């Protein structure tokens, strides 16, 4: 408890609980300033632990995205998520997959997972994804999925480029044609 | 049917249980002596079909306790009535004898933290938790048990000891205690306090059941990961708890990096041995 600015550590409460909680969450998930009085080490440890938990939950919703990135998953996710508060695991994974797709670094299995999600649900990047009411095609990095009456089928797998380093992770192309999540 | 359902609801958690997760539903279904599981309440739909694994456990009259993780009972804002209604509906459809949630907050100022965060041990926080627990209790069909969490940070605002903070919340709300033995270990280890001294000061007669989970050391801190094996020190603390007053039930939580079935069975057996309960495997 050193270095709290301008006498803010008087015994009277600094701010109400609501404000103090909001400051702490912003510092942990939205790169907000450290709230007065908190030790920096435990704050950093908590921030890292939240990112690890969040990565684990996103990996459960996007197993092929996580598996496709292999041992790069944890750092890729943490780099992307550190300044972005969660929008829920489904949207977090979706946003990350689209970002990697834009950078042309989305692994093939993850492209297929993204294409099947794009075919099943309509997601504008701002609000919760909603089921598509009409037949739709989802595409990502060469993968093509089609949805008819709520069932999604992967029509074409994403091409496996042999020059991609570290792409030895087995994927689910052809083994999970019907996805009903 | 009605009568049988009512009898089932009377059955509180007993013996050794395990946290039901879709990934280990097959493993859980084959545990012959299992009488009790817990399920993450937010993962259970309020209507429509239940996950088939859960239905089969209910058919075997296994007690299923919904465990909320997103209510944010410790938030300064009033608890979201829709989240309480969901928890109530899930309790109803599972014939649960009780539900559980955490003494923690998970969102503030419009931002989701993504996981459980500790409260300051202040009178203002006690008031906030008690108000939210009362709001939840007014809508829930069954009692609620409250779980103290593992925290990697402490608030500078702390006024009360951990034991006084928890006891005051339990006294004022009449809630039961869900005591997580791994959290007691984690907090004591990270704060440099004595876990046994905390056990001696908690109202152990209020424990509805206990949690036990694995963790690991990273960067000089013990992390309650739920993805690592249960350390010996946590099992020893289970023994120390049971020597003081054995809870009616103890439940193993595992949330990822699932080991082979034999390893998970061995963890359940070790927990049963530490607590002096019959094995469920």
Q: Domain segments of chain A: what residues?
A: 15-162+173-179
Q: What is the mean pLDDT of chain A?
A: 83
How many cross-chain Cβ pairs, A to B, lie less than 8 Å apart?
93
Q: Would residue B163 count as lying in a domain?
A: yes
Mutate: best of B43, B76, B115, partner A, most A CBs <10 A: B115
Predicted confidence (pLDDT) at residue B281 exceeds the cutoff of 60: yes
Kindly state whether residue B168 falls inside one of the protein's structural domains.
yes
Instruction: Decide if B231 is inside a domain.
Output: yes
- Say how far apart CA B191 and CA A39 lie, in whole Å: 13
Q: Cβ of A167 under 8 Å from any chain B Cβ?
A: no
pLDDT in tens, B111-163: 999 899 999 999 999 999 999 999 999 999 999 999 999 999 999 989 999 99
> What is residue A133's predicted lDDT score, i.e. its pLDDT?
86
- A181/B144: higher pLDDT: B144
What is the rounded average pLDDT of the residues B36-54?
Answer: 94
What are the distances in angstroms from CA A176 to CA A101, A154, A166, B52, B243?
21, 8, 22, 20, 50
**Token pair for B152:** 């990697």
Handedness of CA B147, B151, B156, B161 (dihedral sign): positive
B77: contact with A, CB 8 A cutoff: yes
**Domain annotation covers residue B281:** no
With CB atoms and an 8 Å threshold, state whether B117 touches A28. Answer: yes
| Chain B residue numbers touching A18 (CB-CB < 8 A) | 76-77, 108-109
Distance in angstroms (rounded) separating the CA atoms of residues B272 and B35:
13
Q: What is the reported pLDDT for A14?
A: 53
What tens digit of pLDDT does each residue of A10-20 get? 444 457 999 99
Q: Residue B279: pLDDT above 80?
A: yes
Contacts with A, B 143-202, CB within 8 Å: 151-157
Q: What is the ipTM of this complex?
A: 0.93
The total domain count for chain B is 1
Tens digit of pLDDT for each residue in A58-101? Answer: 999 999 999 999 999 999 999 999 889 999 999 999 999 999 99
Percent of chain B beyond pLDDT 70?
96
List all residues of chain A from 22 to 41 with a beta carbon under 8 Å from chain B.
22-26, 28-30, 36-39
A1, closest residue in chain B (CA to CA): B156
Residues linked to residue A179 through DSSP beta bridges, in sequence order: A152
Q: Is the pLDDT of residue B196 over 60?
A: yes
Interchain CB distance below 8 Å, B115 and A9: no
CATH number at residue B209: 3.20.20.150
Nearest to B115 by CA among B185, B40, B177: B40
Query: How far is CA B114 from each of CA A50, A82, A129, rounded to the nearest angstrom?
Result: 7, 12, 19
CA distance B140 to chain A (A): 25
The angle that helices B123-139 and A17-29 make with each other, rounded to 10 degrees, is 90
Tens digit of each residue's pLDDT (9 = 90 or more) over B158-191: 999 999 999 999 999 999 999 999 999 999 999 9
Give the CA radius of gyration of chain B.
18
CB atoms within 10 A of CB B223: 22
Contact (CB, 8 A) for A55 and B229: no
d(CA B137, CA B151): 26
Q: How far apart are the first and last CA of chain B?
A: 29
Q: Which residues in chain B touch residue A21, judged by CB atoms under 8 angstroms apart?
A: 75-76, 105, 108-109, 117
Q: What does the pLDDT look like over A129-180, one tens digit per residue? A: 999 988 899 999 999 999 998 899 998 999 987 645 444 444 333 333 333 3
pLDDT in tens, A22-54: 999 999 999 999 999 999 999 999 999 999 989
Q: Which domain holds residue B63?
A: 2-275
Q: Please, what's the b/e burial string for B114-142 (b: 16 or more CB within 10 A of its CB; e: otherwise)?
A: bbbbbbbbbebbbebbbbbbebbeeebeb
Largest CA distance in chain B: 55
pLDDT for residue B113? 94
Residue B280 covered by a domain: no
């Amino acid at each position: 408890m050193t270095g709290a600015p301008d006498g803010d550590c008087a015994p009277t409460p600094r701010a109400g609980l609501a404000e103090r909680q909001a400051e702490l969450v912003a510092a942990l998930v939205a790169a907000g300033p450290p709230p007065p009085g908190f030790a920096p080490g435990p704050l950093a440890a908590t921030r890292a632990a939240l990112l690890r938990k969040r990565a684990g939950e996103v990996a459960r919703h996007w197993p092929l995205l996580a598996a496709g990135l292999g041992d790069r998953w944890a750092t890729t996710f943490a780099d992307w998520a550190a300044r972005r508060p969660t929008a829920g695991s489904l949207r977090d994974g979706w946003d990350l997959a689209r970002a990697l797709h834009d950078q042309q670094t989305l692994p093939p299995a993850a492209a297929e997972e993204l294409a099947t999600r794009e075919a099943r649900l309509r997601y504008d990047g701002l609000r919760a994804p909603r089921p598509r009411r009409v037949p739709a095609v989802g595409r990502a990095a060469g993968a093509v999925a089609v949805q008819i009456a709520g069932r999604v089928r992967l029509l074409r797998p994403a091409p496996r480029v042999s020059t991609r380093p570290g792409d030895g992770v087995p994927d689910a192309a052809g083994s999970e044609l019907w996805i009903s999540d | 049917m009605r009568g049988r359902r009512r009898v089932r609801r009377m059955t509180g958690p007993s013996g050794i249980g395990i946290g039901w997760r879709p990934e280990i539903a097959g493993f859980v279904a084959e545990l012959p002596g299992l009488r009790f599981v817990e399920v993450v309440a937010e993962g259970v739909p309020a209507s429509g079909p239940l996950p088939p694994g859960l239905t089969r456990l209910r058919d075997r009259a296994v007690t299923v306790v919904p465990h909320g993780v997103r209510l944010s009972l410790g938030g300064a804002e009033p608890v979201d009535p829709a989240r309480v209604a969901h928890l109530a509906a899930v309790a109803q459809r599972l014939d649960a004898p009780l539900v559980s949630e955490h003494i923690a907050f998970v969102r503030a100022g419009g931002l989701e933290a993504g996981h459980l965060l500790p409260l300051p041990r202040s009178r203002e926080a006690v008031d906030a938790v008690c108000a939210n627990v009362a709001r939840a209790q007014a809508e829930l069909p069954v009692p609620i048990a409250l779980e103290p969490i593992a925290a990697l940070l402490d608030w500078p605002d702390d006024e009360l000891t951990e034991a006084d903070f928890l006891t005051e919340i339990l006294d004022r709300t009449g809630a039961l205690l869900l005591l997580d033995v791994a959290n007691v270990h984690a907090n004591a280890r990270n704060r440099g306090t004595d876990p046994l001294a905390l056990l001696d000061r908690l109202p152990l007669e209020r424990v509805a059941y206990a949690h036990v989970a694995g963790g690991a050391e990273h960067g000089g801190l013990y992390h309650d990961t739920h993805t690592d094996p249960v350390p010996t020190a946590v099992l020893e603390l289970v023994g120390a708890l049971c020597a003081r007053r054995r809870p009616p039930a103890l439940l193993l939580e595992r949330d990822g990096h699932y080991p082979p079935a034999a390893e998970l069975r061995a963890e359940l057996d070790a927990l049963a041995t530490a607590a002096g309960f019959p094995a469920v495997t």
